[in-house]
Structures are given as structure tokens and as C-alpha cells.
Structure 1
């Protein structure tokens, strides 16, 4: 039983074969999925998916790419949405200095405001961090999440990971941990405490080996669990059970 803690099943890439994707997920032993919003519209879609499927849960929030144009009304509506029972987290939120699709100052402002909103409604946060390590660290130190959080598709160093672990964050691993050049990610996966590791696909992106470059889907998170089990010298079953327990603890479903 595996929990894919970060997917985007509302993406148009799944329009033609959505039910097949769900069937393959079930066959692969993926029993839960967190569908993660990145703007107001996708957050609404995530909630709708969660309400229509017992095994799907929702996260709602504004991705740094979409920080520009966010109004107080949008944030108020997200805060109301966050009170729905199937919403387990606020995200994905954070900073992205790789694409810089929104001004950095605005990214930081919307990031902080969403941490504060998550604290008000009692939800953990899901953080997107790309090429913004120092600023992300400064923000989470100054504005710590009261209900925990996870760095999704963790891509930073072991030195940064140690700081985040000390603050109380979980680290989530996706397809890149299976790549041949993933030396830094493997180092983190090898050294992080077992009770702080989550797994995800970030579907439809970041397919693991041997499907790299093709559309990703929740069934393939099994390859991530398999790789982590290999790194930690555990059985696939033990790693699946551990990451499931970790997700249950973070998302409050224990």
C-alpha cells in the first residue's frame, strides 16, 4: 500500500484515459493520492476529484509561477476551501527562481501569506523550491509552519536537508531519485531519517526510470519506492509501509 503524496491528476494529459490511469494505480498497490493545486482553478479541480474518489485527497494553494495577480479575494476563497474535510494540505507554495514567471518579491510575499493562512486553518504545507534555496530557508525559519510540511521533489543538498529536518520538515522523493546522475538526491535519501521520507510522482511530470521522458502517473511511484528500498537496504514492502505511515502522520490521517 503506497501513498503518492503529490500528483496532478486534474491535468489535461489524463483526459482521454483517466479511468485507465486509476486502474493501473490500483493494480500497482497505490492506495492513496494527494492531488495538488497550483492556482485557484486547479485547487477547485483537486477538491472536486477528492470529493468524487475516496482514495484521492486534495491540497490547495498558489504556485510561485502564479503569484502575480493573486488577490485577497482569491486567498479568502482558498481559506474557505481549506476547511473542506478532503483537503489535507496547503500547496504547492514556495519559490521558483528558475523560470521566474512572477517577480521574486511577489513570490516571497504570496509564499509567506499562504504559510500564515495554512497556520490559521491547521494544515501542513507542501513546498515547491527551485533554485531558491537560501530565500526559502530564510522564509521557513522566519515563518515556520505550525502543522508541519514537506519539501516536494526534494532537490537540495544534504547540508540543506539537515537544516530542514531539524526544523521538522519531511522530504519527498520523486522520479529523479532513480536517475543515473542523481548523486546528491541519493545522498539525501540515504541519510534522511526513515520517518521523514515521503514518495510522490508529480504526475504527469518527472517519470522515473525506465519511463523517463514519458508521461508520469501514480502507478509509477512504485519505482520510487523500489529505488529508496534499494538505497536503504530494505524490502519494497517495508519502505512502502514506512512512507505510508509517514504520509498519514503528516496529513493527519493516523
Structure 2
């Protein structure tokens, strides 16, 4: 079984044809998906998706693009919402200095709030980092010194230094369809350096469809292509990378593991 650790099933490109998307994922051996929050205000949408489909988990958080729209949601509110049994992480939150859709100081403040919620709940933090390596390293190092928390650097496209620091701090690193792109040799080199027990795969669907679907709407079924490329990079079989990344997923997203165990026992 493969797990798409990061997708956006509430986005219209996927939500309007969700039955077909889920059927294709199942046919491709994708057993679980995490639909990632970009607005806390859309919590009920994420909750409803996960309650309707056993294969879907969800998160709660504010994407850095939307930090200026939700600048003052306290950590306590994130903690309160995260008690839902299928809410398995905080985020995505972080820093995006490529688009700068929210002021950088607001992004940083909201990010630290999400870290606090992650620390308090024990749920992992889903981190978005783009063109912000230095500030990301500084914040992660400072905040980890205040108290540990689990986290994943999602859709990794940053520099080697951030990957190194992330691993040193105990973070996981997730690779998307970017890994399959012809011009992403530097990302493949970084993937080869990440310890196997810290690797995850994702789609970030509906974006970043991997080769051979590049340019099309991405969907969870396509995570199999990224997983195959990751297997090639780390020199293991496709079945082995499925085992590795699934075990890593359940180790980090332990609440998902608990939910699946309860479902199996009922």
C-alpha cells in the first residue's frame, strides 16, 4: 500500500469528481490520503470529507498564502479543532517567500502559533517552505529548543542545508512529483541523502503532477510515479519504498495509525 501524505481533495479540480479520484487511487494501490487544510475556516469541509471516506484523513491549519486572512487564530483553537478522531496533523503552515501573498512577519507569527499547537497536541506539523530556507532554519531551530514537536517538510524543493537541519531536528522529508521532473536532479540528490526512515511521498494534488502526467491535474493515484522515482533514487524496489514510506507515515502520523487499528478491530 502507498499513502499520499499530502493532497487537497477539497479543491474543485478534485472535489467535483471525487468518486472517480478515489476509485483511481484505490486501483493504483493508494490506501490512505491526507487532505490538507489551507484555511481553518474550511474545517467543516475537511471534516466532512474524512467522515465520509475511510481512506481520507485531514489536518487543521492555515497555509502561509492565507496567513493574512487568518492572522489571529490562537493555538488553543487549533488544539480544540484537532481533537476530531480523523484530524491527524496541524497545518499546513510555514513560509512562502516566492509569492509573498501574506506579509512575511505575519507568516512567521502564524507559523509559530502552529508550532505551539503541534507541540501541545503531540500531532505532527505539516510545513510549507518555499524560498525561505534561512528563516525556516532559524525558526525551526529556535522553536525546537523551546520544546520538541514532530513535523514534515512537505513537497521538498528547498536546499540541501534545510534538509540536513530538518533531519537533525527529527523532521521527516516528503517528496512530490517535482522529484520526477527532468530538471530536478538536485532534488533527487537530496532525496538520496535523507535517511530512509524519514522519507515520505505525496502528490500535493491537484498540483505538480509527476512525469508522465506532468501538466495535467494531479491526483492521489499518481503518487505511485513519485514513489517509483524515489525507489530508483534510493536503490530499492517499488514494493520496498511502499513499505518504507507507509511505515514512516504511520510513525509520524500516529493518530492515523490509531484510527486504522480501531477500525480494523471494530
| Conservation of the 8 A alpha-carbon contact between 1:10 and 1:42 | no
**1:185: which partner in 2?**
187
Displacement of 1:79 after TM fit? 2.6
The farther-off stretch of 55-64 and 137-146 is 137-146
**1:217: which partner in 2?**
219
| Residues in 1 aligned to 2:68 and 2:234: alpha-carbon distance in whole angstroms | 41
**1:152: which partner in 2?**
154
| Conservation of the 8 A alpha-carbon contact between 1:124 and 1:146 | no
| Conservation of the 8 A alpha-carbon contact between 2:95 and 2:107 | yes
Q: With structure 1 as the length reference, what TM-score do the two structures score?
A: 0.96
**Given the superposition, is the C-alpha separation of residues 28 and 110 from structure 1 closer, same or farther in structure 2, using an over 3 Å criterion?**
same
Number of residue pairs matched by the alignment: 254
| Residues in 2 aligned to 1:81 and 1:231: alpha-carbon distance in whole angstroms | 38
SS in 1 for 2:89: strand
1:1-254 superposed matches below 5 A? 1-70=1-70, 72=72, 76-144=76-144, 146-252=148-254, 253=257
SS in 1 for 2:252: helix
RMSD of the TM alignment (CA)? Answer: 1.5
| Residues in 2 aligned to 1:11 and 1:64: alpha-carbon distance in whole angstroms | 17
SS in 2 for 1:143: helix
| Conservation of the 8 A alpha-carbon contact between 2:7 and 2:202 | yes
Q: With structure 2 as the length reference, what TM-score do the two structures score?
A: 0.91
SS in 1 for 2:245: helix
SS in 2 for 1:186: helix
| Residues in 1 aligned to 2:120 and 2:95: alpha-carbon distance in whole angstroms | 21
